[in-house]
A = this chain, B = another copy of it.
Amino acid sequence: MAQMNPTVGDLTKNSEMILRFVEEARAASANIVVFPELALTGYPPEDLLLKPGFIGDNIRVLNDLAGNIRDITAVIGFVDRKSEIYNAAAIIHNGSVAGVYHKMFLPNYGVFDEERYFQAGDAPLNIKLDDITIGIGICEDIWYPEGPASVQALAGAEVIISINASPYQMGKALLREETLVTRAVDNDVIIAYNNIVGGQDELVFDGHGLIVSERGKVIVRGKSFVEELIVADLDLDGPLRSRRHDPRRRKVSLKADTAHVRELKLYTTKVPSAVRSELPLRSDAPPERLEEVLQALIMGTRDYVLKNGFKHVVIALSGGIDSALVLAIATEALGAENITTVFMPSKYSSHDSKADAEALARTLDVELLNIPIEELVGHYADSLSAYFKDTEENVAEENLQARIRGNLIMALSNKFGWLVLTTGNKSEMSVGYATLYGDMAGGFAIIKDVPKTLVYELSKYINKRSSNTVIPDRIITRPPSAELRADQTDQDTLPPYDVLDQVLRAYVEEDMSIDDISELGYDRDLVKRIVYMVDLSEYKRRQAPPGIKITERAFGKDRRMPITNGY
């Protein structure tokens, strides 16, 4: 199984990558090599799928690719075209496309929009490779108990190959393993689950390929967030032995419509390799929770920056914890030499902030520019004085400072071609505690789906896992403040972050009502105020840069709320 990192739309590069993995698999004497869902186009191609030219190019590239694949059978995700288009798997054998499977179950929830594009397939496909029967499935297909895997197994499949583009979110790896174990045991079948790895806009794919035996044992577990070829020899007698002991199968098979399973017969000249005991089955432990999130953020950042043609990023350091975490992640993703940081103090910036920003830049060995904004604040006040005289200071003056910083960092970005990484976290994004065109100005918001309490956890974890302190302790322990007016702290306006994050989780991720949340034990007026802030900030989030989804429900295409909303 090739756990590959395609780039959406880059058919040539993806095709070359596929060929390299084919060579590697052939060198390992594999009989069959499997690529993820839509490996050729990348996932999700979104409205590229509405371009007839793109679909045509993807088919042309697939056929070219097929001509170059011999002495091994390959399963490659691509877009098939009849009168409609299909999310498809090509079975490549002896230098041509020998058969095609069309995905039968199309996800259209969360971040998925497959009903927008694809026709669903109408028949499961088994490959008969010499005397081995292999069922082909694509992603969503395996999530339905009554999906094709069941009838494929009844029609004789010893192995189900499931090709996927399954985005990362915290806890999803466990859910996937549990589902695959159930599906394997229910059908007495080996399941080989292959996934994309890499970042694509808001999404990160974690790889984490799996092979589960017919007894529900995880016999191979691929790495998370790393490209690799996962090689395994499978004991294909296992399912046959197991089925002799499973009475459920014989009851179900009377009713099952195995006749509509298409069978593709393929013959190899090569003697199928016996189980090679010398190839140890491996099952890497999955990363711990914080390490996993960190790897997702690192890969998401690296891929967004590099796949979009940038080499260098710029980050505004405030001396606070959010920008410190962003910098620590960016440093791992891109290397300190590809990062410039900038400190832009106002009269409200404390000495501690300056010292902490400097200490951080020093520790991580990144360039730090210093551009005070105090005078610019004064000049804006002059320009606006004719209209602002006799008014009370309000959010206008606070936002102006953030927007001056936004302008300065964008000027650096435009001048030197650097991508701006913004530093807002999910708690801020939720309640609108951020300035549009100010600290929200930039190309990628890497921690926008990370709640503030998790920002703290990750920062402490980064220090723990390193031999040195990466993020100076005072950055972690000082009370958070936007420093946009005198003696301000976040908790002047917001409840403590542990309370805020729990209420936000219930409201944003769980879609609970004000009543429901209050019943969890939170003050009803507080819940109401938080909900009000979340709803009111929808217009800001609509103009926010994309960021990396790590929770069950990220802002972006995962949560599509109206701005005009009287509820």
Residues of chain A whose beta carbon lies under 8 Å from any beta carbon of chain B: 7-11, 13, 42, 44-48, 50-54, 57, 108-109, 113, 115-116, 199-201, 303-304, 307-308, 369, 371-373, 375-376, 379-380, 382-384, 386-388, 391, 394-396, 399-400, 403-404, 406-408, 410-412, 414-415, 436-437, 441, 443, 511-516, 539, 542-546, 557, 559-567
Cross-chain contact B13 with A566 (CB below 8 angstroms): yes
13 new A-B contacts at CB < 8 Å, known A53-B512, A199-B564: A8-B565, A8-B566, A8-B567, A11-B567, A113-B113, A201-B562, A373-B383, A375-B379, A376-B380, A379-B379, A391-B415, A403-B407, A410-B437
Residues of B within 8 A of A564 (CB): 7-8, 199-201, 303-304, 307-308
How many copies of this chain sit in the oligomeric assembly? 2
For the complex, give the distance between the alpha carbons of A312 and B11 in Å. Answer: 49
Q: Which residue of B lies closest to A200 (CB)?
A: B564
Known: A562-B46, A566-B8. A380 touches B411 (CB 8 A): yes
Cross-chain contact A562 with B48 (CB below 8 angstroms): yes
Residues of B within 8 A of A308 (CB): 539, 563-564
Cross-chain contact A410 with B403 (CB below 8 angstroms): yes
* A-B contacts, 5 listed (Cβ < 8 Å): A42-B566, A44-B562, A52-B513, A443-B539, A543-B543
Known: A47-B560, A384-B371. A406 touches B543 (CB 8 A): no
For the complex, give the distance between the alpha carbons of A307 and B567 in Å. Answer: 12
Distance to closest chain B CB from A364 (angstroms): 20
Residues of B within 8 A of A109 (CB): 116
Cross-chain contact A561 with B47 (CB below 8 angstroms): yes
Known: A45-B562, A562-B44, A562-B201. A10 touches B567 (CB 8 A): yes
Indicate which residue in B383, B408, B443 contacts A383 across the interface (CB closer than 8 Å). B408
Cross-chain contact B108 with A567 (CB below 8 angstroms): no
For the complex, give the distance between the alpha carbons of A115 and B407 in Å. Answer: 41
Q: Which residue of B lies closest to A400 (CB)?
A: B411
Indicate which residue in B372, B412, B414 contacts A387 across the interface (CB closer than 8 Å). B412
Indicate which residue in B369, B404, B414, B512 contacts A396 across the interface (CB closer than 8 Å). B414
Indicate which residue in B394, B407, B441, B543 contacts A400 across the interface (CB closer than 8 Å). B407
For the complex, give the distance between the alpha carbons of A516 and B391 in Å. Answer: 58
Residues of B within 8 A of A47 (CB): 559-561
For the complex, give the distance between the alpha carbons of A514 and B42 in Å. Answer: 21
For the complex, give the distance between the alpha carbons of A481 and B109 in Å. Answer: 44
Cross-chain contact B414 with A567 (CB below 8 angstroms): no
